[in-house]
Structure 1
Protein backbone atom coordinates (compact mmCIF):
# COMPACT_ATOMS: atom_id res chain seq x y z
CA UNK A 1 0.00 0.00 0.00
CA UNK A 2 1.20 3.49 -0.84
CA UNK A 3 2.10 5.49 2.27
CA UNK A 4 1.55 8.87 0.66
CA UNK A 5 -0.34 11.55 2.55
CA UNK A 6 -1.34 15.12 1.87
CA UNK A 7 -1.96 17.78 4.48
CA UNK A 8 -4.24 20.60 3.38
CA UNK A 9 -4.10 23.72 5.52
CA UNK A 10 -7.26 25.77 5.19
CA UNK A 11 -6.58 29.37 6.15
CA UNK A 12 -7.24 32.68 4.43
CA UNK A 13 -4.34 34.35 6.25
CA UNK A 14 -1.83 31.56 5.60
CA UNK A 15 -2.88 31.40 1.93
CA UNK A 16 -2.24 35.17 1.66
CA UNK A 17 1.13 34.87 3.42
CA UNK A 18 -0.08 36.94 6.37
CA UNK A 19 0.30 34.14 8.93
CA UNK A 20 2.73 31.27 9.26
CA UNK A 21 1.15 27.84 8.94
CA UNK A 22 2.09 25.95 12.11
CA UNK A 23 -0.44 23.11 11.99
CA UNK A 24 0.36 21.79 8.52
CA UNK A 25 4.10 21.34 9.15
CA UNK A 26 3.32 19.76 12.55
CA UNK A 27 1.13 17.18 10.80
CA UNK A 28 3.79 16.49 8.16
CA UNK A 29 6.41 15.98 10.87
CA UNK A 30 4.22 13.40 12.64
CA UNK A 31 3.43 11.66 9.36
CA UNK A 32 7.10 11.52 8.34
CA UNK A 33 7.99 10.04 11.74
CA UNK A 34 5.51 7.24 11.01
CA UNK A 35 6.88 6.47 7.57
CA UNK A 36 4.43 8.47 5.44
CA UNK A 37 5.58 10.69 2.59
CA UNK A 38 3.68 13.95 3.01
CA UNK A 39 3.65 17.62 2.18
CA UNK A 40 1.40 20.61 2.82
CA UNK A 41 -0.91 22.43 0.43
CA UNK A 42 -2.38 25.73 1.66
CA UNK A 43 -5.78 26.92 0.43
CA UNK A 44 -8.09 29.75 1.51
CA UNK A 45 -11.37 29.15 3.33
CA UNK A 46 -13.34 28.64 0.12
CA UNK A 47 -15.49 25.56 -0.43
CA UNK A 48 -14.50 25.06 -4.07
CA UNK A 49 -10.77 25.43 -3.37
CA UNK A 50 -10.88 23.01 -0.43
CA UNK A 51 -12.81 20.40 -2.42
CA UNK A 52 -10.45 20.80 -5.38
CA UNK A 53 -7.42 20.29 -3.11
CA UNK A 54 -8.92 17.09 -1.69
CA UNK A 55 -9.74 15.80 -5.17
CA UNK A 56 -6.24 16.65 -6.42
CA UNK A 57 -4.57 14.94 -3.46
CA UNK A 58 -6.54 11.75 -4.14
CA UNK A 59 -5.81 11.96 -7.87
CA UNK A 60 -2.11 12.35 -7.04
CA UNK A 61 -2.22 9.05 -5.12
CA UNK A 62 -2.54 10.21 -1.51
CA UNK A 63 -4.06 7.45 0.61
CA UNK A 64 -4.41 9.72 3.66
CA UNK A 65 -5.63 13.31 3.41
CA UNK A 66 -5.69 15.45 6.55
CA UNK A 67 -7.12 18.94 6.50
CA UNK A 68 -6.31 21.46 9.22
CA UNK A 69 -8.48 24.50 9.82
CA UNK A 70 -11.89 25.73 8.83
CA UNK A 71 -13.80 23.34 11.10
CA UNK A 72 -15.17 25.86 13.60
CA UNK A 73 -18.30 27.95 13.68
CA UNK A 74 -17.17 31.23 12.16
CA UNK A 75 -18.80 32.28 8.87
CA UNK A 76 -15.59 31.46 6.92
CA UNK A 77 -15.24 27.95 8.41
CA UNK A 78 -16.41 25.78 5.51
CA UNK A 79 -14.08 22.78 5.52
CA UNK A 80 -16.78 20.27 6.58
CA UNK A 81 -19.14 21.60 3.91
CA UNK A 82 -16.42 21.19 1.28
CA UNK A 83 -15.44 17.71 2.47
CA UNK A 84 -18.74 16.00 3.22
CA UNK A 85 -20.04 15.76 -0.37
CA UNK A 86 -16.80 13.98 -1.35
CA UNK A 87 -17.06 11.23 1.27
CA UNK A 88 -18.51 7.79 0.62
CA UNK A 89 -18.82 6.44 3.19
CA UNK A 90 -18.68 8.92 6.03
CA UNK A 91 -16.96 7.50 9.13
CA UNK A 92 -18.46 9.53 12.01
CA UNK A 93 -16.64 7.68 14.79
CA UNK A 94 -13.27 9.12 13.77
CA UNK A 95 -14.47 12.72 13.94
CA UNK A 96 -16.29 12.00 17.21
CA UNK A 97 -13.12 10.59 18.78
CA UNK A 98 -11.03 13.52 17.54
CA UNK A 99 -13.48 15.85 19.31
CA UNK A 100 -13.51 13.72 22.48
CA UNK A 101 -9.71 13.66 22.71
CA UNK A 102 -9.49 17.41 22.10
CA UNK A 103 -12.26 18.26 24.56
CA UNK A 104 -10.45 16.39 27.33
CA UNK A 105 -7.78 19.10 27.08
CA UNK A 106 -9.75 22.06 25.75
CA UNK A 107 -13.57 22.13 26.01
CA UNK A 108 -13.91 24.38 22.95
CA UNK A 109 -12.72 21.42 20.83
CA UNK A 110 -16.37 20.38 20.92
CA UNK A 111 -17.07 23.28 18.56
CA UNK A 112 -15.13 21.55 15.77
CA UNK A 113 -17.45 20.32 13.03
CA UNK A 114 -14.81 18.21 11.31
CA UNK A 115 -15.84 15.10 9.39
CA UNK A 116 -14.05 11.94 8.25
CA UNK A 117 -14.58 9.30 5.61
CA UNK A 118 -13.39 7.85 2.35
CA UNK A 119 -12.82 9.76 -0.88
CA UNK A 120 -11.79 7.48 -3.72
CA UNK A 121 -8.99 5.34 -2.18
CA UNK A 122 -8.09 7.80 0.60
CA UNK A 123 -9.05 8.30 4.20
CA UNK A 124 -9.92 11.98 4.66
CA UNK A 125 -10.03 13.56 8.13
CA UNK A 126 -10.70 17.20 9.05
CA UNK A 127 -8.77 18.52 12.05
CA UNK A 128 -9.00 21.93 13.68
CA UNK A 129 -6.35 24.42 12.62
CA UNK A 130 -4.05 24.40 15.62
CA UNK A 131 -0.83 22.54 16.37
CA UNK A 132 -2.52 21.11 19.49
CA UNK A 133 -5.37 19.65 17.45
CA UNK A 134 -2.82 18.13 15.09
CA UNK A 135 -0.75 16.65 17.95
CA UNK A 136 -3.94 15.12 19.39
CA UNK A 137 -5.55 13.99 16.13
CA UNK A 138 -2.75 12.64 13.96
CA UNK A 139 -1.76 9.81 16.34
CA UNK A 140 -5.39 8.65 16.44
CA UNK A 141 -5.56 8.74 12.64
CA UNK A 142 -2.27 6.86 12.30
CA UNK A 143 -3.61 4.15 14.59
CA UNK A 144 -6.59 3.61 12.28
CA UNK A 145 -5.50 4.38 8.73
CA UNK A 146 -3.93 1.03 7.82
CA UNK A 147 -7.01 -0.87 9.01
CA UNK A 148 -9.38 1.54 7.26
CA UNK A 149 -7.53 1.26 3.96
CA UNK A 150 -7.24 -2.52 4.26
CA UNK A 151 -10.98 -2.80 4.87
CA UNK A 152 -11.74 -0.59 1.85
CA UNK A 153 -9.55 -2.86 -0.26
CA UNK A 154 -11.55 -5.91 0.87
CA UNK A 155 -9.25 -7.04 3.65
CA UNK A 156 -10.35 -9.23 6.53
CA UNK A 157 -10.60 -8.11 10.16
CA UNK A 158 -7.20 -9.15 11.48
Structure 2
Protein backbone atom coordinates (compact mmCIF):
# COMPACT_ATOMS: atom_id res chain seq x y z
CA UNK A 1 0.00 0.00 0.00
CA UNK A 2 1.34 3.44 -0.91
CA UNK A 3 2.36 5.58 2.05
CA UNK A 4 0.21 8.75 2.12
CA UNK A 5 0.91 9.84 5.69
CA UNK A 6 2.74 12.99 4.53
CA UNK A 7 0.09 14.07 2.03
CA UNK A 8 -2.33 16.81 3.11
CA UNK A 9 -6.05 16.23 2.84
CA UNK A 10 -7.93 18.09 0.12
CA UNK A 11 -11.25 17.96 -1.67
CA UNK A 12 -11.18 15.30 -4.36
CA UNK A 13 -13.75 14.21 -6.94
CA UNK A 14 -13.79 11.59 -9.65
CA UNK A 15 -16.27 10.72 -12.38
CA UNK A 16 -16.31 7.42 -14.25
CA UNK A 17 -18.61 5.79 -16.78
CA UNK A 18 -19.47 2.39 -18.14
CA UNK A 19 -21.93 1.05 -20.71
CA UNK A 20 -24.14 -2.00 -20.99
CA UNK A 21 -25.04 -2.85 -24.59
CA UNK A 22 -28.46 -4.49 -24.83
CA UNK A 23 -31.29 -5.09 -27.35
CA UNK A 24 -34.13 -2.58 -27.63
CA UNK A 25 -36.68 -4.62 -25.69
CA UNK A 26 -34.28 -4.86 -22.73
CA UNK A 27 -33.69 -1.12 -22.75
CA UNK A 28 -37.46 -0.66 -22.70
CA UNK A 29 -37.63 -2.84 -19.60
CA UNK A 30 -35.01 -0.62 -17.97
CA UNK A 31 -37.04 2.49 -18.77
CA UNK A 32 -40.20 0.92 -17.35
CA UNK A 33 -38.47 -0.58 -14.30
CA UNK A 34 -40.05 -3.96 -15.03
CA UNK A 35 -37.39 -6.63 -15.31
CA UNK A 36 -38.06 -10.05 -13.82
CA UNK A 37 -36.02 -9.11 -10.74
CA UNK A 38 -37.50 -5.64 -10.35
CA UNK A 39 -36.36 -2.11 -11.18
CA UNK A 40 -32.84 -2.64 -12.54
CA UNK A 41 -31.76 1.00 -12.61
CA UNK A 42 -32.76 1.68 -9.01
CA UNK A 43 -31.05 -1.50 -7.90
CA UNK A 44 -27.93 -0.71 -9.92
CA UNK A 45 -27.78 2.78 -8.41
CA UNK A 46 -27.68 1.36 -4.88
CA UNK A 47 -25.18 -1.32 -5.94
CA UNK A 48 -22.87 1.33 -7.41
CA UNK A 49 -23.02 3.57 -4.34
CA UNK A 50 -22.35 0.64 -2.00
CA UNK A 51 -19.46 -0.47 -4.21
CA UNK A 52 -17.87 2.99 -3.99
CA UNK A 53 -18.02 2.83 -0.19
CA UNK A 54 -16.42 -0.62 -0.07
CA UNK A 55 -13.76 -0.31 -2.77
CA UNK A 56 -10.92 -0.88 -0.31
CA UNK A 57 -12.45 -4.30 0.50
CA UNK A 58 -12.72 -5.25 -3.15
CA UNK A 59 -9.42 -4.05 -4.62
CA UNK A 60 -6.13 -4.92 -2.90
CA UNK A 61 -3.95 -2.00 -1.73
CA UNK A 62 -6.70 0.62 -2.06
CA UNK A 63 -6.87 2.96 0.92
CA UNK A 64 -10.10 3.12 2.92
CA UNK A 65 -11.56 6.58 2.35
CA UNK A 66 -14.39 8.61 3.85
CA UNK A 67 -16.93 8.82 1.03
CA UNK A 68 -18.72 12.14 1.53
CA UNK A 69 -20.84 11.89 -1.62
CA UNK A 70 -21.54 9.22 -4.21
CA UNK A 71 -24.09 9.16 -7.01
CA UNK A 72 -24.85 6.90 -9.96
CA UNK A 73 -27.03 8.07 -12.86
CA UNK A 74 -28.08 6.50 -16.14
CA UNK A 75 -28.47 7.57 -19.75
CA UNK A 76 -30.64 5.36 -21.96
CA UNK A 77 -29.58 5.37 -25.63
CA UNK A 78 -30.85 3.38 -28.60
CA UNK A 79 -28.44 0.46 -28.13
CA UNK A 80 -27.09 0.82 -24.61
CA UNK A 81 -27.43 2.29 -21.15
CA UNK A 82 -24.56 4.55 -20.11
CA UNK A 83 -23.73 4.63 -16.40
CA UNK A 84 -22.22 7.74 -14.83
CA UNK A 85 -20.68 7.51 -11.35
CA UNK A 86 -19.48 10.49 -9.29
CA UNK A 87 -17.64 10.13 -5.97
CA UNK A 88 -16.38 12.90 -3.66
CA UNK A 89 -14.18 12.93 -0.58
CA UNK A 90 -11.85 15.06 1.52
CA UNK A 91 -8.79 12.89 1.91
CA UNK A 92 -5.07 12.47 1.23
CA UNK A 93 -5.63 10.38 -1.89
CA UNK A 94 -8.10 10.35 -4.74
CA UNK A 95 -11.34 8.49 -5.45
CA UNK A 96 -10.72 7.36 -9.03
CA UNK A 97 -10.95 3.69 -8.10
CA UNK A 98 -14.12 4.31 -6.12
CA UNK A 99 -15.79 5.94 -9.13
CA UNK A 100 -14.62 3.18 -11.48
CA UNK A 101 -15.80 0.51 -9.07
CA UNK A 102 -19.20 2.18 -8.76
CA UNK A 103 -19.61 2.30 -12.54
CA UNK A 104 -18.45 -1.30 -12.92
CA UNK A 105 -20.70 -2.78 -10.23
CA UNK A 106 -23.69 -0.83 -11.50
CA UNK A 107 -23.04 -2.27 -14.96
CA UNK A 108 -22.75 -5.79 -13.59
CA UNK A 109 -26.01 -5.38 -11.71
CA UNK A 110 -27.83 -4.26 -14.86
CA UNK A 111 -26.29 -7.16 -16.78
CA UNK A 112 -27.47 -9.61 -14.13
CA UNK A 113 -31.02 -8.25 -14.14
CA UNK A 114 -31.30 -8.22 -17.93
CA UNK A 115 -29.84 -11.65 -18.68
CA UNK A 116 -33.16 -13.53 -18.11
CA UNK A 117 -34.67 -11.44 -20.93
CA UNK A 118 -32.22 -12.13 -23.77
CA UNK A 119 -29.47 -14.44 -24.92
CA UNK A 120 -25.92 -14.00 -23.62
CA UNK A 121 -24.49 -12.75 -26.91
CA UNK A 122 -26.93 -9.81 -26.88
CA UNK A 123 -25.48 -8.35 -23.67
CA UNK A 124 -22.04 -6.90 -23.12
CA UNK A 125 -20.29 -4.40 -20.86
CA UNK A 126 -18.05 -1.85 -22.54
CA UNK A 127 -15.88 1.22 -22.02
CA UNK A 128 -15.46 1.45 -18.27
CA UNK A 129 -13.29 4.53 -17.96
CA UNK A 130 -12.32 7.48 -15.81
CA UNK A 131 -13.83 10.66 -17.23
CA UNK A 132 -12.71 13.34 -14.78
CA UNK A 133 -10.77 13.81 -11.56
CA UNK A 134 -10.00 16.86 -9.47
CA UNK A 135 -7.87 17.45 -6.39
CA UNK A 136 -4.39 16.27 -5.50
CA UNK A 137 -1.56 16.75 -8.00
CA UNK A 138 -3.98 17.33 -10.85
CA UNK A 139 -5.32 20.50 -9.18
CA UNK A 140 -2.64 21.57 -6.69
CA UNK A 141 0.82 21.62 -8.22
CA UNK A 142 3.92 20.85 -6.19
CA UNK A 143 6.30 22.06 -8.91
CA UNK A 144 7.28 25.62 -9.78
CA UNK A 145 6.64 26.79 -13.32
CA UNK A 146 9.83 28.86 -13.24
CA UNK A 147 12.96 29.01 -11.11
CA UNK A 148 12.66 30.96 -7.86
CA UNK A 149 15.62 31.91 -5.67
CA UNK A 150 15.42 30.66 -2.08
CA UNK A 151 17.50 30.80 1.09
CA UNK A 152 17.50 28.35 4.01
CA UNK A 153 18.82 29.58 7.37
CA UNK A 154 19.37 26.98 10.09
CA UNK A 155 19.37 28.35 13.64
CA UNK A 156 21.07 26.09 16.17
CA UNK A 157 23.80 26.74 18.73
CA UNK A 158 24.85 23.07 18.67
CA UNK A 159 24.91 22.76 14.88
CA UNK A 160 26.77 26.07 14.50
CA UNK A 161 29.35 24.85 17.05
CA UNK A 162 29.86 21.60 15.15
CA UNK A 163 28.38 19.46 17.96
CA UNK A 164 25.44 18.22 15.89
CA UNK A 165 24.77 17.51 12.22
CA UNK A 166 22.01 19.45 10.53
CA UNK A 167 19.34 17.20 9.04
CA UNK A 168 16.27 19.46 9.20
CA UNK A 169 17.73 22.23 7.07
CA UNK A 170 19.16 19.78 4.55
CA UNK A 171 15.75 18.12 4.20
CA UNK A 172 14.23 21.51 3.36
CA UNK A 173 16.97 22.22 0.82
CA UNK A 174 16.22 18.86 -0.83
CA UNK A 175 12.49 19.62 -0.85
CA UNK A 176 13.08 23.03 -2.45
CA UNK A 177 15.36 21.51 -5.10
CA UNK A 178 12.73 18.90 -5.99
CA UNK A 179 10.12 21.65 -6.24
CA UNK A 180 12.23 23.71 -8.65
CA UNK A 181 13.73 26.45 -6.47
CA UNK A 182 17.11 27.65 -7.73
CA UNK A 183 19.58 28.96 -6.73
CA UNK A 184 19.36 27.97 -3.07
CA UNK A 185 21.45 29.67 -0.40
CA UNK A 186 22.10 27.52 2.69
CA UNK A 187 23.58 28.88 5.91
CA UNK A 188 23.91 27.81 9.54
CA UNK A 189 24.00 30.36 12.37
CA UNK A 190 23.73 30.30 16.15
CA UNK A 191 20.49 31.24 17.91
CA UNK A 192 21.36 34.93 17.86
CA UNK A 193 18.69 37.55 17.22
CA UNK A 194 21.00 40.26 15.87
CA UNK A 195 22.82 37.92 13.48
CA UNK A 196 19.48 36.60 12.20
CA UNK A 197 18.07 40.09 11.73
CA UNK A 198 21.12 41.27 9.78
CA UNK A 199 21.14 38.15 7.61
CA UNK A 200 17.45 38.51 6.73
CA UNK A 201 18.01 42.14 5.80
CA UNK A 202 20.82 41.09 3.44
CA UNK A 203 18.87 38.26 1.84
CA UNK A 204 15.48 39.85 1.22
CA UNK A 205 16.71 41.82 -1.78
CA UNK A 206 18.14 38.72 -3.48
CA UNK A 207 15.88 35.79 -2.57
CA UNK A 208 12.15 35.51 -3.14
CA UNK A 209 11.72 32.86 -0.45
CA UNK A 210 13.58 32.78 2.86
CA UNK A 211 13.04 29.84 5.20
CA UNK A 212 14.38 29.68 8.72
CA UNK A 213 14.70 26.28 10.39
CA UNK A 214 14.74 26.18 14.18
CA UNK A 215 13.90 28.50 17.05
CA UNK A 216 10.08 28.34 16.81
CA UNK A 217 9.51 26.45 20.06
CA UNK A 218 9.30 27.55 23.70
CA UNK A 219 12.94 27.10 24.77
CA UNK A 220 14.96 29.95 26.24
CA UNK A 221 17.13 30.12 23.11
CA UNK A 222 14.19 29.97 20.67
CA UNK A 223 14.38 33.55 19.38
CA UNK A 224 13.33 33.16 15.75
CA UNK A 225 9.69 34.22 16.09
CA UNK A 226 10.47 37.25 18.27
CA UNK A 227 13.12 38.34 15.75
CA UNK A 228 11.17 37.74 12.56
CA UNK A 229 7.64 38.80 13.42
CA UNK A 230 8.37 42.54 13.87
CA UNK A 231 10.01 42.54 10.42
CA UNK A 232 6.94 41.16 8.62
CA UNK A 233 5.00 43.76 6.66
CA UNK A 234 2.19 41.41 5.62
CA UNK A 235 1.59 38.32 7.72
CA UNK A 236 0.14 35.13 6.25
CA UNK A 237 -1.37 33.51 9.31
CA UNK A 238 -3.03 30.74 7.33
CA UNK A 239 0.24 29.10 6.28
CA UNK A 240 1.34 28.28 9.81
CA UNK A 241 -2.20 27.51 10.91
CA UNK A 242 -2.31 24.88 8.16
CA UNK A 243 1.10 23.54 9.20
CA UNK A 244 0.10 23.22 12.85
CA UNK A 245 -3.19 21.54 11.97
CA UNK A 246 -1.35 19.08 9.72
CA UNK A 247 1.27 18.37 12.36
CA UNK A 248 -1.25 18.03 15.17
CA UNK A 249 -2.72 14.95 13.47
CA UNK A 250 0.74 13.36 13.63
CA UNK A 251 2.10 14.54 16.99
CA UNK A 252 0.56 16.51 19.90
CA UNK A 253 3.76 18.54 20.11
CA UNK A 254 2.88 20.44 16.92
CA UNK A 255 0.69 22.72 19.04
CA UNK A 256 3.85 24.11 20.65
CA UNK A 257 5.24 25.50 17.40
CA UNK A 258 4.99 29.31 17.25
CA UNK A 259 6.04 29.65 13.63
CA UNK A 260 5.01 32.72 11.61
CA UNK A 261 5.04 33.61 7.92
CA UNK A 262 4.67 36.70 5.78
CA UNK A 263 6.25 39.16 3.38
CA UNK A 264 9.16 41.49 3.89
CA UNK A 265 9.00 43.75 0.84
CA UNK A 266 8.68 41.19 -2.00
CA UNK A 267 10.35 38.31 -0.16
CA UNK A 268 8.28 35.58 1.49
CA UNK A 269 9.65 34.50 4.87
CA UNK A 270 8.68 31.24 6.59
CA UNK A 271 9.77 29.98 10.02
CA UNK A 272 9.93 26.18 10.35
CA UNK A 273 10.60 23.96 13.39
CA UNK A 274 14.13 22.73 14.04
CA UNK A 275 13.35 19.00 14.00
CA UNK A 276 13.62 17.20 10.69
CA UNK A 277 10.16 15.70 11.08
CA UNK A 278 8.57 19.00 12.08
CA UNK A 279 10.21 20.88 9.22
CA UNK A 280 9.27 18.20 6.67
CA UNK A 281 5.66 18.06 7.87
CA UNK A 282 5.38 21.84 7.67
CA UNK A 283 6.57 21.83 4.06
CA UNK A 284 4.21 18.98 3.18
CA UNK A 285 1.30 20.98 4.57
CA UNK A 286 2.04 24.32 2.92
CA UNK A 287 3.81 23.39 -0.33
CA UNK A 288 0.75 23.70 -2.62
CA UNK A 289 -0.01 27.14 -1.16
CA UNK A 290 3.65 28.11 -1.49
CA UNK A 291 3.64 27.18 -5.18
CA UNK A 292 0.44 29.15 -5.69
CA UNK A 293 1.93 32.26 -4.06
CA UNK A 294 4.77 32.33 -6.57
CA UNK A 295 2.44 31.52 -9.44
CA UNK A 296 0.39 34.68 -8.86
CA UNK A 297 2.97 37.08 -7.46
CA UNK A 298 5.41 38.87 -9.76
CA UNK A 299 8.26 41.34 -9.30
CA UNK A 300 10.30 38.87 -7.28
CA UNK A 301 13.85 39.44 -6.02
CA UNK A 302 16.55 37.10 -7.28
CA UNK A 303 20.07 36.00 -6.58
CA UNK A 304 23.05 35.03 -8.73
CA UNK A 305 22.12 34.27 -12.35
CA UNK A 306 18.43 33.87 -11.50
CA UNK A 307 16.23 35.23 -14.28
**TM-score, length basis structure 1:** 0.89
Please, which of 234, 239, 243 is the counterpart of residue 94 of structure 1?
239
Q: Which residue of 2 aligns with 1:44?
A: 190
Q: Where in structure 2 are the equivalents of 1:16-35 lying within 5 Å?
A: 16-35=161-180
Q: How do 1:69-84 and structure 2 match up within 5 A?
A: 69-84=214-229
SS in 1 for 2:166: coil
Aligned residues between the structures: 153
- TM-score of the two chains, using structure 2 as the length reference: 0.47
Tell me the SS of whatever aligns to 1:45: coil
Within 5 A, what are the aligned runs for 1:5-16?
5-16=150-161
Inter-CA distance 144–7: structure 2 relative to 1 (3 Å threshold): same
Residues 129, 99 of structure 1: alpha-carbon distance in 2 compared, 3 angstrom cutoff: same
SS in 1 for 2:196: helix
Shift of 1:10: 0.7
Greater share of residues in helix: 1
Distance 2:238 2:260 in 1: 9
RMSD: 1.7
- The 1:53/1:134 distance shift into structure 2, 3 A limit, reads same
Taking CA–CA contacts closer than 8 Å with sequence separation of 6 or more, which of the two structures ends up with the larger relative contact order?
1
Q: Specify every segment of 5 or more residues in structure 1 that has no aligned partner in the other structure, as ranges.
A: none
Structure (1/2) with the larger strand percentage:
2
1:122-137 map, 5 Å: 122-137=267-282
The answer (yes or no) to whether the contact 1:7–1:40 under 8 Å persists in 2 is yes
How far the C-alpha of 1:142 sits from its partner, in A, is: 2.8
